């Protein structure tokens, strides 16, 4: 059975990797028409609300991709 630390290690590493990679990679830029359409679809009153959600999803996506890439590389090449 895994310890509680190991259960929290994967989500925390995903968030940390997402934060670090978001510093290096720019978030996707939405055009004015797409931003207006998304604001109407999601019922946001301000463009800042939309970009907050976009940045959070961007951090999580990048962190998840990096986590699985690094896990694959570690399992493939890192273990002796």
> Which residue range forms the structural domain that includes residue 55?
4-78
| Total structural domains within the chain | 1
In angstroms, rounded to a whole number, what is the distance separating the alpha carbons of residues 38 and 46? 11
Please give the average pLDDT of every successive group of 10 residues along the chain, which has 80 residues: 72 77 78 94 93 88 83 77
Return d(Cα 46, Cα 36) in angstroms, integer: 10
Identify the pLDDT of residue 29: 84
Res 66: pLDDT: 81
The pTM is what?
0.67
């Amino acid at each position: 059975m895994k310890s509680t630390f190991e259960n929290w290690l994967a989500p925390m590493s995903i968030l940390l990797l997402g934060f670090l990679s978001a510093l290096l990679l720019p978030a996707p830029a939405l055009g004015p028409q797409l931003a207006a359409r998304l604001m109407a679809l999601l019922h946001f009153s301000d463009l800042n609300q939309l970009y907050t959600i976009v940045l959070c999803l961007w951090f999580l996506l990048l962190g998840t991709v990096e986590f699985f890439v690094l896990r694959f590389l570690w399992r493939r090449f890192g273990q002796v």
